[in-house]
Amino acid sequence: MDHKALKHRLRKIEAPAPDETARKQAIAAAVREFRAHHKQASGQVQGSKRSGRLKDTDSKPVRRTMKTQPWILRGATAASVLLAAGSLVFLMQPAYQDYGRRSVPLSLPDAQTAPPPELASEEKSKNEIDMMRQQPARALRDDSAQTLKRNVPIAGGSAQPKELRSFEIAPAVQGLVQLAETPAIQPEPAYVGQDEFTSFETNPVKLVSETPVSTFSIDVDTASYAFVRRQLNSGVLPQKSAVRVEEMINYFDYAYQAPESPDSPFLANVTVYPAPWNAQAKLLHIGIKGYELPKAAKPRANLVFLVDTSGSMQSRDRLPLLKHAFRMLVETLDPEDSVAIVTYAGSAGTALEPTRANEKAKILAALDRLRSGGSTAGAAGIEQAYALAEGNFDPKGVNRVLLATDGDFNVGITNHQELEDFISRKRESGIFLSVLGFGQGNYHDNLMQKLAQNGNGNAAYIDSLNEARKVLVDEAGATLFPIAKDVKIQVEFNPARVAEYRLIGYETRSLRREDFNNDKVDAGEIGSGHAVTAIYEIKTPQSQSRLMDESRYGTAQLAEPSAAASEEYAFVKIRYKLPDADTSKLITRPVTSADEFVDFQAVDGELRFAAAVAAFGQILRGAAYTGQFTFDDIIQLAQSAKGEDPFGYRAEFLRAEFLNLVRLAKAARAM
């Protein structure tokens, strides 16, 4: 390509937005490509040093003038070429690049579109670009800086520090220029900090004399903890709306006493103990443990994998990780279970009709064939997934759609309320929905939470193979097999023992008092073996750290409590439905002085560890009520909590991981 044709093409290319890092990467990539091409071509020169012909690797004559200055590709033009080419290389990287403040996901072009022949033929250039993808951004920047300090060697002459000597643009760079001119292969935009979470205010302190009753729906989701972990591992603090304290607490299993019979699907464990961050306050700890179905009693599973294969799912932590996660789940299924696969990207399609799990090779092959590309027709995919689930409905089994996505729906029914209404109607037919989130940068947690809540399912965030195993293998029963639905908790406080209280977390699960007895109001689901934890901070009338004064006017005179009730801190009520029932059942339990521990060190280590997690979540959200409690205090508290763990999984791995996250949060830069 001569310089006139190159200049003509460059005029048609819209200059990319200036970016210092992209510029350095562009120059480094172009210099490497030139050196590789020059080295490859050495020994093929025919003629004199000042004038001759150069043959490329295909032995096609390529004109190259070796004179000192037959023409000068001026600095501005050369820089434009390098910047345009390098920026495209930069945008094509699928890995996450850390730019100090946050992780930036970068997308590839449509995977189903072939690259230009010039680019495809440059195997060595492709290998170098692949090497660039695998390098951390900081190392790449350092390498670029060192490259810029050296003079650019030109074939047939010495280095020229002030201006570029005559050279032909390498074929890979020509391919990148043509790539920019091809509308069908435009790269996906880089998503920078576009994660979406529902904003909410932290639960306030309430006076028992004014609001004695607290009502909320249970939450067994764990997505918040996994996302917070990923952010902290990236060196940044998560945004406050990403921190749902109850999900961080419920990420762990606290070895609660479990029910012995399915007739009572769960058992309430209640304890009162001193608050570690406030000596003048107590914690009312409510732990619910679900009945764990024995393997022989587990019903058949009719599962539909609804997989997002849009362009935004190309990077390694999205579709490739998603496929590994589902492979793990398939390996745990019983032969009589069935699996179907629906994909959506531009339009929905059935990748696998309902297939018995004993045909694992067929299911795994269908997963392996999944490729990403196109826009995101999520609504159409959901409709098709439910249609397959209905067509293969098992009245004696579990019927569930597993939606795996980053939550970016931009084609079809994009109105979130319409999607929620559609899923709510399908829930009534006995088909539940669970949501598995992947990726960051454009992760739409707000929509995924709403869909899971309306679908009587749970939401999890998968950022690694370890998390995939935890959610889909170790906790498969809790994820797939419900033992109770529409589970609500209501706590009534005794004003003679409790002056004020606040519920830690559950801000997005709050219910009105009258909703508790209304069986038409939807609430959370508990799966086989699931554990749910709720913690209140309470203060007695004698507490010196009360934040609210009693009203001077308008407060009704409180009735004297009965002798039996005078020892009660509160009265806990749990309402639930069996998975196939429409009428709820009620479990009640008083909280008395017999449930109280005066000495915090005498409290079971499991509960003290839960208090440490609760403190951590509150501090990440702004520490409005934790006083002078610090990350160091959390570390000390968690290290002192020696809970029983016969399998060693949580004690050895998750506990160590939690302590590491607290240390990372202590050192992390603010978001």
CA 517 to each of CA 195, 287, 454, 502, 576: distance values in angstroms, whole numbers, following the listed order: 36, 21, 19, 22, 10
Instruction: Say if CB 228 and CB 238 are below 8 A apart.
Output: yes
Region of poorest pLDDT, from 102-106, 440-444, 456-460, 602-606 = 102-106
More confident residue, 54 or 295: 295
Per-residue pLDDT, 421: 84
Contacts of 485 (CB under 8 A, 6+ apart): 456, 523, 524, 525, 526, 576, 577, 578, 579
Q: Which helix (H) or strand (E) holds 226?
A: helix 223-233
Give the closest residue to 380 by CA, choosing from 350, 355, 400.
Answer: 350
Say which residues have a Cβ less than 8 Å from residue 183's Cβ, sequence separation at least 6: none
Q: For residue 313, give the nearest of 413, 414, 381, 388 by alpha carbon.
A: 381
Question: Which fold, 206-294+482-547+563-667?
Answer: Immunoglobulin-like (2.60.40)
Partners of 489 in beta bridges: 216, 574
Return the H-helix or E-strand segment holding 383: helix 378-391
Res. 569 pLDDT band, cuts 50 70 90? very high
| Tokens encoding 139 | 């190392």
Q: What percent of the chain has pLDDT over 70?
A: 65
| CB contact set of 45 (below 8 Å; sequence gap of 6+) | 52, 53, 54, 66, 156
pLDDT for position 459: 93
Q: What is the fold, at CATH topology level, of the domain defined by 299-480?
A: Rossmann fold (3.40.50)
- What are the pLDDT digits (tens) for 254-284? 989 989 887 788 899 999 999 999 999 999 9
Q: If residue 269 lies in a helix (H) or strand (E), which one and from where to where? A: strand 266-275
| Contact assessment for residue 336 and residue 321, using Cβ atoms and an 8 Å cutoff | no
**Top-confidence range, 80-84, 201-205, 293-297:** 201-205
Task: Decide if pLDDT at 136 tops 90.
Answer: no
CB distance 306 to 401 below 8 Å:
yes
Average pLDDT over residues 381-410: 88
Higher pLDDT, 503 or 424: 503
How high is the pLDDT of residue 168?
Answer: 41
Q: How many of the other CB atoms lie within 10 Å of CB of 143?
A: 16
Give the Cα separation of 166 and 77 in Å (integer).
13
Q: Which of 23-37, 205-219, 373-387, 600-614 has the lowest average pLDDT?
A: 23-37
Q: Residues 392-413: what's their mean pLDDT?
A: 82
Residue 334 has pLDDT above 50, yes or no: yes
Across all residues in the chain, what is the average pLDDT? Answer: 77
Q: Which of 10-14, 397-401, 577-581 has the lowest mean pLDDT?
A: 10-14
* Model confidence at 186: pLDDT above 70: no
CA of 510: how far to CAs of 177, 219, 444, 525, 578, in Å? Answer: 55, 11, 22, 15, 22
Checking if the pLDDT of 309 tops 50, the result is yes
CB 240 within 8 A of CB 620: yes
Reported as a pLDDT band with limits 50, 70 and 90, residue 587 is very high
User: What residue ranges of the chain are covered by domains with CATH 2.60.40.1230?
Assistant: 206-294+482-547+563-667
Residue 339, pLDDT above cutoff 90: yes
Mean pLDDT value across residues 56-64: 40
**Amino acid 347: pLDDT:** 60
Q: Side chain identity at 107, as an amino acid letter?
A: S
Q: Which residues contact 626 (CB under 8 A, 6 or more apart)?
A: 277, 278, 615, 618, 619
Task: Give span(s): CATH 3.40.50.410, the chain.
Answer: 299-480
pLDDT above 50: residue 417: yes
Which has the higher per-residue pLDDT, 296 or 34? 296
634 pLDDT above the threshold of 80: yes
> Percent of the chain at pLDDT above 90?
48
Rounded CA separation 66/48 (Å)? 9
Instruction: Report residue 210 as tokens.
Output: 């004014």
Amino acid at site 335: P
* Least confident residue range of 2-16, 103-117, 307-321: 103-117
Facing residues of 368 across strands? none
Residue 49 has pLDDT above 80, yes or no: no
According to DSSP, the residues that pair with 303 across neighbouring strands are: 339, 400
Position of tokens 């005498």?
A: 602
Asked if the model's pLDDT at residue 629 lies above 80, the reply is yes
Q: What pLDDT, in 10s, does the model give residues 475-493?
A: 988 889 999 999 999 999 9
Residue 641: which of 667, 621, 622, 616 has the closest Cα? 616
pTM assigned to the model: 0.71
CA–CA separation, 305 vs 310, rounded Å?
Answer: 15
The radius of gyration computed from the CA coordinates of the chain, to the nearest angstrom, equals 31
CA angle, residues 559, 561, 566, in degrees to nearest 5? 155
The predicted-structure confidence for 230-261, as pLDDT tens digits, reads as follows: 999 999 999 999 999 999 999 998 989 989 88
Reading the block at residue 629, the tokens are 């409690």
Q: What is the mean pLDDT of residues 59-70?
A: 40
Q: Is 90 exceeded by the pLDDT of residue 325?
A: yes
Condensed to tens digits (0 to 9), the pLDDT of residues 347-391 reads: 668 999 999 999 999 999 999 999 887 665 556 788 889 999 999
Mean pLDDT lowest for which of 221-230, 283-292, 406-415? 406-415
- Residue 259 DSSP code: P
pLDDT of 185 higher than 50: no
Strands ordered across the beta sheet of 431-437:
347-356, 338-345, 301-308, 398-405, 431-437, 459-461
